[in-house]
């Protein structure tokens, strides 16, 4: 039972699941979504199935695995996983992952944890994504907890302390957690850990002894890579407009559009790699160092482990060669693969140029290709800051 002090951000306790299922039963959108995962069942049969679910684990094993498997079979060529053997089933981990898709990164990780006999993790997701009650109930049923997005400095400090306390509570209660390495998805392909995130981790526990404080959390980087970047067009468009206009204001429901696009659009092969956990031995050399040095060291460890385990596809090498105007990585792709990637890019270019005009062509092309090319530079050690 999760303590009451976390009621404003926590996921559901098991005794709250029957009421959540009853909400879904009377919600047309929920039934329609469930129908996609169970096309052979009538609405009445789906309602009976929902009524049979009594715990969050049952919700995930009965509903979420079916739904995620549907996404995998309809929009992916497959999922490859590495490193699950590194995880001790008796331990909890603070998975800190690069963030490429709003929902799929964590959802698919959960499914493969389940399939590897591990307890699924709790997932942090931004309060900006909780657009209605259905999303709120769904998230809490799926072990998702609220991460407040605040512009107010005082509120930010309070929310960070509260979130840090909650994450440490979960880890010490032997429940794993997934959280993105920074706010929002990676828009430019450059996976960099926000130092503020590490600061937030350190706000709970023994703040006077930062090395054992952070080691206690079992911070474990996760590298997630897609052959075809989810929502690449939307990411490149947002980056271009923000650069051109100095600001980008999202339209109502734009985050929902991104969720739907990420689910539906082709992704090719997805790879999830569990990286080595950051241990006390890794951090011990920084005992006695200034806080900012320890925070920087942890962020750097996360980044390097993600880069080392990030899978590069032919598309990454093609984009890197196109941007540099060279054939440096020619041996990593074929002419046929280059033709397929060109057709993919041309389709995106034609849609965006129609909206933004020909003056966007050069810069927009650089931004789109950068989403694929920057991971090559990071993996090779030529990091973008």
pLDDT score at 354 = 83
Give the mean pLDDT of the chain.
Answer: 93
CATH architecture for residues 72-230+265-309? 3-Layer(aba) Sandwich (3.40)
Ranges 66-70, 181-185, 311-315: which has the least confidence: 181-185
pLDDT score at 153 = 85
pLDDT score at 385 = 56
pLDDT score at 193 = 97
pLDDT tens-digit profile of 185-201? Answer: 888 999 999 999 999 99
pLDDT over threshold 70, residue 316: yes
Sign of CA dihedral 167, 168, 173, 177: positive
Q: Is 271 helix (H, G, I), strand (E, B) or coil?
A: strand
pLDDT over threshold 70, residue 75: yes
Question: Where along the chain do its domains lie?
Answer: 72-230+265-309, 314-380
Ranges 135-149, 203-217, 290-304, 347-361: which has the least confidence: 347-361
pLDDT cut 90: percent of the chain above it: 81
Distance CA 12, CA 15 (A): 8
Q: For residue 219, what pLDDT band results from cuts at 50, 70 and 90?
A: very high
pLDDT cut 70: percent of the chain above it: 99
Give the C-alpha distances (Å, rounded to integers) separating 154 from 88, 157, 159, 181, 333: 38, 5, 9, 22, 51
Distance CA 140, CA 339 (A): 44
pLDDT over threshold 90, residue 128: no
Contacts of 181 (CB under 8 A, 6+ apart): 96, 97, 98, 99, 191, 192, 193, 194, 197, 221, 302, 303, 306
Of residues 122, 271, 294, 266, the one with CA closest to residue 208? 294
């Amino acid at each position: 039972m999760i303590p009451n002090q976390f009621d404003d951000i926590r996921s559901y306790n098991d005794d709250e699941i029957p009421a959540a299922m009853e909400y879904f039963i009377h919600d047309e959108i929920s039934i329609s979504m469930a129908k996609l995962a169970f096309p052979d069942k009538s609405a009445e049969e789906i309602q009976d199935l929902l009524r049979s679910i009594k715990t969050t684990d049952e919700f995930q094993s009965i509903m979420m695995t079916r739904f995620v498997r549907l996404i995998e079979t309809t929009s992916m060529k497959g999922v490859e996983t590495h490193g699950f053997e590194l995880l001790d089933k008796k331990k909890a981990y603070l998975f800190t992952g690069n963030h490429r898709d709003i929902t799929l990164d964590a959802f698919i990780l959960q499914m493969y944890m389940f399939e590897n006999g591990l307890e699924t993790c709790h997932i942090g997701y931004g309060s900006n994504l909780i657009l209605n009650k259905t999303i709120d109930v769904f998230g809490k049923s799926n072990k998702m907890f609220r991460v407040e997005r605040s512009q107010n400095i005082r509120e930010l400090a309070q929310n960070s302390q509260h979130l840090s306390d909650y994450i440490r509570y979960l880890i010490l209660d032997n429940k794993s957690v997934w959280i993105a390495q920074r706010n929002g998805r990676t828009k430019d392909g450059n996976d960099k850990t926000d130092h503020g995130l590490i600061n937030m981790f350190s706000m709970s526990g023994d703040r006077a002894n930062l090395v054992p404080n952070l080691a206690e959390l079992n911070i474990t980087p996760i590298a997630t890579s897609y052959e075809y970047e989810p929502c690449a067009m939307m990411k490149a468009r947002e980056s271009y407009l923000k650069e051109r206009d100095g600001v980008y204001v999202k339209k109502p429901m734009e985050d929902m559009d991104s969720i739907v696009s990420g689910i539906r659009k082709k992704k090719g092969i997805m790879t999830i790699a569990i990286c080595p956990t950051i241990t006390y031995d890794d951090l011990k050399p920084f005992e006695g160092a200034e806080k900012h040095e320890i925070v920087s060291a942890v962020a750097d460890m996360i980044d390097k482990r993600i880069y080392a385990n990030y899978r590069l596809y032919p598309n990454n090498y093609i984009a890197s060669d196109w941007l540099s105007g060279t054939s440096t990585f020619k041996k990593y792709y074929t002419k046929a693969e280059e033709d397929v990637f060109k057709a993919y890019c041309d389709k995106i270019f034609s849609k965006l140029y129609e909206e933004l005009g020909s003056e966007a062509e050069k810069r927009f092309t650089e931004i789109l290709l950068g989403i694929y090319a920057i991971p090559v530079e990071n993996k090779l050690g030529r990091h973008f800051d």
